[in-house]
Amino acid sequence: MSASVSGLAALTVDEIRKGLAARQFSAVELAQSALDSARAENPKTNAFLTFSDERARKAAQRADQMLAAGADPGPLAGVPLAVKDVIVTEGVRTTCGSRLLEHYVPPYDATAVRRLEQAGAVIIGKTNCDEFAMGSSNENSAYGPVHNPVALDRVSGGSSGGSAAAVAQGSVVASLGSDTGGSVRQPASFCGIVGVTPTYGRVSRYGLVAFASSLDHIAPFGRTVRDAALVLQSMAGRDECDATSAFAPVPDYLASLDGKLKGVKIGLPREYFDGLASETGDRIERGIATLRKLGCEVKEISLPATKYAVACYYIIATAEASSNLARYDGVRYTSRSESQTLGEMYRATRGAGFGAECKRRIMLGTYVLSHGYYDAYYLKAQKVRALITQDFKKAFEEVDAIVTPVSPFPAFKIGE
């Protein structure tokens, strides 16, 4: 075991680049420190489900060799990274937080993973999450909840709780999560770090195990905005393996980090500020005061369809999930409950493999798509989605950005 790299928990991507260039530490030492930290914290936080020592060592050695040869090792060279366990990694077990996939070892890498490794990142492991990303407290994982590193008796948030905790506890510099209805933004908020859910289509979902395809995003966590921007930069852009990935050119995110905020118009949608917990309200008021001090013009706006968003989401997300999760039938993905007939085998495998929340969502999704109900539910929800979108389009004619609390309350206690 190598000597631990001092200050691992506070290192940024830029500091790693400088440290490697100055030979203060090697990428292999850094990877070992990250793995040691992740293993030491895991009995407390349960952030990791699988460690990828071998893969990390290879990536770190490659970075060290390139540095020694004077070559450019990439913008994320040596940066220890964790990946949510719904994003596939070749040769490294990917469970989706489900018993069904306890022994699933994917034969390929997600595009986001491949691009980050090409940029020099060192993936040290796969992180805990709600089963198939369904949840917002990480208590729906088949492998136990993630404990918030800031207060261990509290939830990490979810569904990307492990990825948020891995960054917050200082074991990795950044991580990947997935966000379908807040699953990166909310755990980032609960753990006190940065999470950026980019525009739909910005990051390829090739290799992201599908939950609700019209809403799924891959998104980064970091301790600083700059680190999250660097990770997003390295994985964003069109990918021919994902037909929904956007052709839009990728902007230089770092270039816009130092801009002036004077005169920027900020909208505060009043519907998002109802019934906030006092801690949450105080925090966001302080944030808004800072924006004002920096010269932003802050004004109240309205997004009137907000109260319908959750019902709309519940139809669209579960309908798409019921279809996407149909593939776990006992034929292809490691788990099977043996039965006499094919139909019995499907039903037994799925009945035994899925947890309660997955079953609930598969059932609701199947119901809203079933004969005679499609127009009343799925089509209706798609129309309401159009109304919600119109709200935002109208708002952005008035303001440059919208500021809201991520959640109406801070991280709650596990089991509450």
Partner 1 sequence: MKLTEKDVRYVADLANLKLSDDEVARLAHDLDEILTHIDTLNELDTSDVQPMAQVLYDSGETATLREDVERPPLGNQAALANAPVAGSGYYKVPKVIER
* Position among 34, 113, 303, 312 found at the interface with partner 1 (CB under 8 A): 312
84 labelled catalytic: yes
Q: Are 232 and 253 in contact (CB under 8 A)?
A: yes
Query: Of the listed 98, 137, 183, 204, which one is catalytic?
Result: 183
Amino acid identity for residue 209 in this structure: V
* Position among 285, 379, 398, 401 found at the interface with partner 1 (CB under 8 A): 379
Q: Which stretches does DSSP call E strand in 128-247?
A: 174-179, 194-195, 217-222
* Position among 25, 48, 51, 104 found at the interface with partner 1 (CB under 8 A): 104
To partner 1, the closest distance from the beta carbon of 246 in angstroms equals 4
Residues 62-81 that bind partner 1 (CB under 8 A): none
To partner 1, the closest distance from the beta carbon of 95 in angstroms equals 12
159 labelled catalytic: yes
Q: Distance between CA atoms of 388 and 339, rounded to whole angstroms?
A: 46
Name which of 36 and 90 has its Cβ closer to partner 1.
90
| Residues 331-370 as x/- pattern, contact with partner 1 by CB under 8 A | xxxxxx-xxxxxxxxxxx-xxx-x-x--xx-xxx-xx--x
Query: Of the listed 37, 159, 335, 407, which one is catalytic?
Result: 159
Q: Distance between CA atoms of 193 and 174, rounded to whole angstroms?
A: 10
Name which of 248 and 289 has its Cβ closer to partner 1.
248
* Position among 270, 383, 394, 413 found at the interface with partner 1 (CB under 8 A): 383
Name which of 213 and 404 has its Cβ closer to partner 1.
213
**Burial degree of 166 (CB within 10 A; 0-12, 13-18, 19+):** buried
Residues 186-225 that bind partner 1 (CB under 8 A): 199-201, 213-214
To partner 1, the closest distance from the beta carbon of 131 in angstroms equals 14
Q: Give whole-number Cα distances, 221 to 49, 82, 97, 156, 160, in Å.
A: 18, 10, 19, 13, 10
Q: Does 326 interact with partner 1 (rule: CB under 8 A)?
A: yes
183 labelled catalytic: yes
Q: Give whole-number Cα distances, 409 to 71, 169, 189, 214, 284, in Å.
A: 48, 21, 10, 27, 11
* Adjacent-strand bridge partners of 83: 126, 176
Query: Closest by alpha carbon to 117, among 96, 95, 87?
Result: 87
Amino acid identity for residue 154 in this structure: R
Residues 225-244 that bind partner 1 (CB under 8 A): 240, 243-244
To partner 1, the closest distance from the beta carbon of 312 in angstroms equals 7
Query: Closest by alpha carbon to 333, among 142, 89, 100?
Result: 100
| Residues 141-170 as x/- pattern, contact with partner 1 by CB under 8 A | ------------------------------
* Adjacent-strand bridge partners of 220: 176
User: What 3-state DSSP class applies to 300?
Assistant: strand
User: What 3-state DSSP class applies to 171?
Assistant: coil
* Adjacent-strand bridge partners of 89: 92
Give the largest CA-CA distance in the chain.
70
Name which of 189 and 245 has its Cβ closer to partner 1.
245
To partner 1, the closest distance from the beta carbon of 382 in angstroms equals 4
* Adjacent-strand bridge partners of 259: none
Q: Distance between CA atoms of 190 and 168, rounded to whole angstroms?
A: 10
Could you say which DSSP state residue 268 is in?
E
Query: Of the listed 26, 33, 84, 178, which one is catalytic?
Result: 84
Number of residues lying near partner 1 (CB under 8 A): 70
To partner 1, the closest distance from the beta carbon of 178 in angstroms equals 16
User: What 3-state DSSP class applies to 156?
Assistant: coil
To partner 1, the closest distance from the beta carbon of 292 in angstroms equals 32
- Residues labelled as active-site residues: 84, 159, 183
Q: Site residues (CB under 8 A) for partner 1?
A: 103-108, 199-201, 213-214, 240, 243-244, 246-248, 305, 307-308, 310-312, 314-315, 322, 326, 329-336, 338-348, 350-352, 354, 356, 359-360, 362-364, 366-367, 370, 377, 379-387, 389
